[in-house]
Amino acid sequence: MPSLKDLRNRIASVKATQKITKAMQMVAAAKLRRAQNAAEAARPYAELMDKVLASLASKIGDGSPAPALLAGTGRDNVHLLVVCTAERGLCGAFNSSIARLARDAAISLAGQGKTVKILCVGKKGNDLLRRQFERQIIEVVDLRGVRSLGFDNADAIGRKIVSMFEAGEFDVCTLFFSRFRSVIAQIPTAQQLIPLALGGAANGAAPQAVYDYEPDEEEILATLLPRNISIQVLRALLENAASEQGARMSAMDNASRNAGEMIKKQTMKYNRSRQAMITKELIEIISGAEAL
Amino acid sequence: MAAFHFELVSPEKLVFSGDVDSVVVAGVEGEFTVLKDHAPLMSTLKPGVVEISAAPATKLRYFVRGGFADVAPGGFTILAERAIPLDEFDATRLAADVKDAEEDVADAKSDEARRLATEKRDQLLELKAALKI
């Protein structure tokens, strides 16, 4: 049975924790709004890029061979997994669910006899995967110092991926990140980057007017494809940032609520034992007086 | 002049969207002006200035790099890695920025820092060249 002082201390410490989690929740809510706006602002560019690439790719299909970034190398022996996670914890299952998806993919690929290489973006992914895949992790990109994610950050990663591809270090590249559905729902997603998986847009596109190309289609496609990779990375990073804040917000909301419950329970216990002590003292006094 | 829809989009945001009379852009194979009912055209762009003329005699100038123009029947779209309004620049500030960047290149300690600094300086020089037009 803890003493009254112990109980008082415990209540005070839970209250302090609750203050911290509440503050974190509010910070996450403010950051979430910003991250969400950034993710939405990036959408038109990515959508237009998809449209343009789809229409270019449909034209280039016949005759000349498609560029390797679009069609792949024709092999799928070496897979590169780009795992985007957060830099910080305390955001519920956010990091671990992305890492789990990547881990499952890596294990099943390894089971098929493929070589797996992993590029971690964000410290947490590295922490979670390091133990199991120490030799497969080839690089860790650290974004801790970055205050606001911009195209530059994504471009650096995109260029790294492209230069590795051109050096023939892998055949297939997949991007792992968390898609932002809502504050309470973030969906870990795997997206294939190389060879490019063009959505249904290519088939569904209405027959278009005859375009002039300056320079010709192949050259445009050759400049657009590496850029598209950077754009996809940027989109993944922005979606991830929004998801992270959403996950942190709901995790901290839960934590504050739990702390509140704990305070209630402990306070009840404290009051009970205080009352019991008073009653005990009274009984002692009364029975002492009666004995006289 | 008849107006048509024009959008300037960068990865970070929609920079400009609205009805305009004409847009002058610097394509890799030469500068061209887009008016209403321009033939469909796709072109990559040189780093340079995009000049937008909208209805009541307003002109907007943006510095664009890493750009790509898509003239479609429905409107004209530029996708650009970077689009900076030119009002934010003047000659003296730009000269100071270039000088800073050059000093950064000289001081850079690691290869990575030097690469970043060099990139920044090159961008500023491109911008300076574009402004001299």
Measuring CA to CA, which residue among A172, A73, A74, A155 is closest to residue A115?
A: A172
From B71, which residue of chain A is nearest by alpha-carbon distance? Answer: A211
CA-to-CA separations, B25 to B13, B32, B70, B88, in angstroms, rounded: 20, 6, 11, 19
Lowest-confidence pick of A56-65, A98-107, A127-136, B95-104: A56-65
Q: Is A46 helix (H, G, I), strand (E, B) or coil?
A: helix
Contact check, Cβ <8 Å, A213/B41: yes
For the question of residue A84 being annotated catalytic, the response is no
Measuring CA to CA, which residue among A118, A177, A154, A176 is closest to residue A226?
A: A154
- Residue A146's pLDDT is what? 74
Answer whether CATH 3.40.1380.10 is correct for domain A32-250. Answer: yes
Residue listed under structure tokens 């449909």: A58
The CATH architecture of the domain made up of B4-87 is: Sandwich (2.60)
For chain A, the distance separating the N- and C-terminal CA atoms, rounded to the nearest angstrom, is 33
- Contact (CB, 8 A) for A11 and A270: yes
Rounded to whole angstroms, the Cα distance separating A286 from A137 reads: 75
Phi/psi zone of residue A195: left (φ > 0), alpha (ψ -120 to 50 degrees), beta? beta
Question: The complex's ipTM?
Answer: 0.73
- B45 interfaces chain A, CB cutoff of 8 Å: no
Q: Among residues of chain A, what percentage have pLDDT more than 70?
A: 93
Contact check, Cβ <8 Å, B41/A52: no
- pLDDT per position as a tens digit, A189-213: 998 888 877 654 444 444 555 778 8
Reply yes or no: is the peptide bond before residue A67 cis, omega within 30 of 0: no
Measuring CA to CA, which residue among B82, B76, B88 is closest to residue B25?
A: B76
Rounded to whole angstroms, the Cα distance separating A41 from A39 reads: 5
From A224, which residue of chain B is nearest by alpha-carbon distance? Answer: B68
Q: Which of A151, A155, A209 sits opposite B40 (nearest CB)?
A: A209
Average pLDDT of span A85-96: 90
Average pLDDT, chain A: 86
pLDDT band at A64 (very low <50, low <70, confident <90, very high): low
Rounded to whole angstroms, the Cα distance separating A223 from A220 reads: 5
CA distance A177 to chain B (A): 18
For the four alpha carbons of A134, A140, A145 and A151, in that order, the dihedral sign comes to negative
Residues paired with residue B14 on neighbouring β-strands, in sequence order: B9
- Phi first, then psi, for residue A238 (nearest 5°) are -70, -40
Lowest-confidence pick of A12-26, A40-54, A98-112: A40-54
Type of residue at A145: G
Lowest-confidence pick of A6-10, A188-192, B10-14, B92-96: B92-96
Query: DSSP readout, B54-110?
Result: ETTTEEEEEEEEEEEEEEETTEEEEEEEEEEEGGG--HHHHHHHHHHHHHHHHH--S
CA distance B109 to chain A (A): 18
Rounded to whole angstroms, the Cα distance separating A278 from A6 reads: 18
Is residue B114 classed exposed, middle or buried when 0-12, 13-18 and 19+ CB atoms within 10 A define those classes? middle
Type of residue at A30: A
- B94 interfaces chain A, CB cutoff of 8 Å: no
Average pLDDT, chain B: 82
- pLDDT per position as a tens digit, A177-191: 999 888 888 999 998
- B41 interfaces chain A, CB cutoff of 8 Å: yes
Residues paired with residue B64 on neighbouring β-strands, in sequence order: B48, B83
CA distance A12 to chain B (A): 45
Residue A82 pLDDT > 70: yes
Rounded CA Rg of chain B: 17
Domain residue ranges in chain A: 4-21+252-291, 32-250
Distance of CA B78 to the CA centre of its chain: 9
Rounded to whole angstroms, the Cα distance separating B69 from B32 reads: 11
Please tell me the pTM assigned to this model.
0.83
Measuring CA to CA, which residue among A95, A242, A113 is closest to residue A176?
A: A95
- Contact (CB, 8 A) for A94 and A84: no
Measuring CA to CA, which residue among A287, A285, A284, A281 is closest to residue A4?
A: A281
- Residue A218's pLDDT is what? 79
Q: Which residues of A touch B33 (CB under 8 A)?
A: none
pLDDT band at A249 (very low <50, low <70, confident <90, very high): very high
How do A172-180 and A78-84 pair as beta strands?
Answer: parallel
Measuring CA to CA, which residue among A180, A229, A245 is closest to residue A82?
A: A229
